[in-house]
């Protein structure tokens, strides 16, 4: 806590001093009488001023919520020795909103009293958000001296992104071993009819196709495509986060990744995550309810980290990219390292779908001829990058209107893209 004199104290001292000086030098006792109330205020006020012993804490009613949810923070303020008038302001992360009149207030805390003040908040953006620190300003008697300080009391609230629900998943390249919702190309036990073949030792009698058997006078059995799951790896380019008019590229990426992950996890697929940027992080592919929470936690910590270090996909450990996994990349295609990594994945035979999160229509051209030329050159450069990715077998789709629009369009693809080898 730092103590500071208020302008009122300075004014009182100056005016009282002038009045006393004038009274003495001019021989006018009336001027001394004029100074008397101010002198008394100073003597009584300053005599009773001392650093107040106070405490503050913050609590929230929830520690996890979804974007758009309303929550409540409760501030607890204590005064241990003397009654004190407190001006309180609470710091909030940019993803939390509170009415400006609600987040700062003045109240009176009596001696040994504990006051609670509720502040209504709204979670406006996904991420790990903080409620706090608490800034306090207290006034001594007569408001002659103020004590200011910041109490580093914080409460963390995890705000999960609100994602657009996909009606249909992305087309898978290869199915895996576990049972799921995708019809495998291979033959085996399943519901989807595949073909008919002559009976062989070990075949189940229930599979006998009696029509074909009676026609050919030889036992035939039905074969089916088994229902299997697939692997999807979500690749998030976190080298850059370009803020656009409506939302940032990282925001689009996280919402899109959430939508894909939730949809495929519901359909028993394994989902892996790679955050490829200044800080490379990954989550190996897995499935189930617990993995849903792991993905949600992972996505909350995704943020763009600036780095000069050259990075490629060799950085990622084995198992991060399971063979035959469909790679869905969300990238603004700005950083050369991310573009290279995507091309590398395509060249290694992974089916890669890249969703361009940089909405070009929101990037406006500057004024002047040079700016126009630069804008056109930038667009050409992006076309070249897309062509380069295409040559590596990476299909690029525009994320205009949000990633879910591109994902919705992609869900109607009958076959997953195959990389050119």
Q: Which of 5, 18, 62, 409 binds other proteins (CB under 8 A)?
A: 18
Closer to other proteins by CB, 32 or 183: give it.
Answer: 32
Q: Does 28 bind other proteins (CB under 8 A)?
A: yes
Q: Does 114 bind other proteins (CB under 8 A)?
A: no
Q: For residue 240, which of 252, 225, 231, 224 has the smallest C-alpha distance?
A: 252
Q: 3-state class of 109 per DSSP? A: strand
Contact string 336-375 vs other proteins (x = CB under 8 A): ----------------------------------------
Q: 3-state class of 258 per DSSP? A: helix
Rg (CA), the chain: 34
Residues near 352 by Cβ (< 8 Å), separated by ≥ 6? 235, 327, 328, 329, 342, 345, 346, 393, 394, 395, 417, 419
Q: Which helix (H) or strand (E) holds 362?
A: none
> Residue 176, exposed/middle/buried by CB under 10 A (0-12, 13-18, 19+)?
buried
CB of 105 to other proteins, least distance (A): 4
Q: Does 20 bind other proteins (CB under 8 A)?
A: no
Q: Does 15 bind other proteins (CB under 8 A)?
A: yes
Q: Does 255 bind other proteins (CB under 8 A)?
A: no
Q: Does 50 bind other proteins (CB under 8 A)?
A: no
Count of residues of this chain found to bind other proteins when the rule CB under 8 A is applied: 37
Residues 320, 284 contacting (CB under 8 angstroms): yes
d(CA 411, CA 330): 16
Task: Please state whether the peptide bond connecting residue 67 to the residue before it is cis, i.e. omega within 30 degrees of 0.
Answer: no
Interaction with other proteins in 138-167: which residues (CB under 8 A)? 143
Q: Which of 106, 156, 195, 204 binds other proteins (CB under 8 A)?
A: 106
Q: Which range of residues in 25-33, 122-130, 273-281, 378-386 is near other proteins by CB under 8 A?
A: 25-33
Residue ranges that bind other proteins, judged by CB under 8 A? 7-8, 10-12, 14-15, 18-19, 22, 26, 28-31, 33-38, 40-41, 44, 85, 87, 89, 100-108, 143
């Amino acid at each position: 806590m730092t103590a500071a004199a208020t302008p009122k104290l300075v004014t009182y001292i100056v005016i009282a001093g002038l009045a006393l000086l004038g009274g003495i030098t001019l021989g006018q006792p009336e001027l001394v009488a004029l100074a008397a109330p101010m002198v008394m205020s100073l003597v009584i006020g300053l005599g009773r001023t001392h650093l107040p012993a106070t405490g503050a804490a913050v609590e929230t009613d929830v520690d996890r919520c979804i974007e758009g949810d309303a929550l409540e923070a409760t501030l607890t303020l204590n005064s241990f020795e003397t009654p004190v008038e407190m001006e309180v302001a609470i710091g909030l992360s940019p993803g939390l909103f509170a009415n400006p009149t609600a987040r700062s207030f003045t109240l009176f805390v009596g001696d040994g009293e504990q006051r609670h003040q509720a502040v209504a908040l709204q979670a406006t953006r996904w991420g790990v958000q903080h409620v706090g620190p608490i800034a306090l300003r207290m006034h001594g008697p007569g408001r002659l001296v103020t004590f200011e300080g910041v109490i580093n009391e914080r409460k963390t609230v995890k705000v999960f992104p609100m994602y657009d629900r996909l009606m249909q998943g992305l087309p898978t390249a290869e199915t895996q071993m576990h049972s799921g919702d995708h019809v495998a190309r291979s033959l085996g036990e399943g519901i989807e009819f595949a073909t008919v073949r002559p009976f062989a030792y070990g075949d189940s009698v229930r599979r006998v196709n009696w029509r074909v058997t009676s026609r050919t006078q030889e036992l035939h059995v039905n074969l089916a495509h088994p229902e299997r799951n697939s692997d999807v790896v979500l690749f998030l380019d976190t080298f850059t986060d370009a803020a656009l008019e409506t939302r940032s590229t990282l925001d689009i990426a996280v919402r899109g990744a959430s939508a894909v992950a939730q949809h495929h996890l519901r359909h028993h697929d394994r989902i892996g995550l790679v955050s490829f940027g200044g800080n490379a992080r990954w989550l190996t592919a897995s499935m189930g309810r617990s993995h849903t929470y792991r993905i949600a936690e992972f996505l909350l910590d995704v943020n763009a980290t600036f780095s000069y270090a050259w990075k490629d996909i060799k950085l990622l450990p084995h198992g991060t990219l399971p063979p035959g996994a469909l790679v869905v990349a969300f990238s603004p295609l700005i950083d050369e390292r991310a573009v290279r990594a995507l091309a590398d994945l395509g060249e290694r035979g992974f089916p890669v779908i890249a969703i361009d999160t940089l909405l070009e229509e929101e990037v406006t051209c500057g004024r002047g001829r040079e700016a126009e030329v630069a804008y056109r050159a930038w667009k050409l450069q992006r076309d070249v990058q897309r062509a380069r990715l295409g040559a590596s077998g990476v299909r690029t789709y525009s994320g205009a209107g949000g990633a879910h629009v591109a994902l919705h369009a992609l869900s109607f693809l009958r076959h997953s893209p195959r990389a050119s080898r």
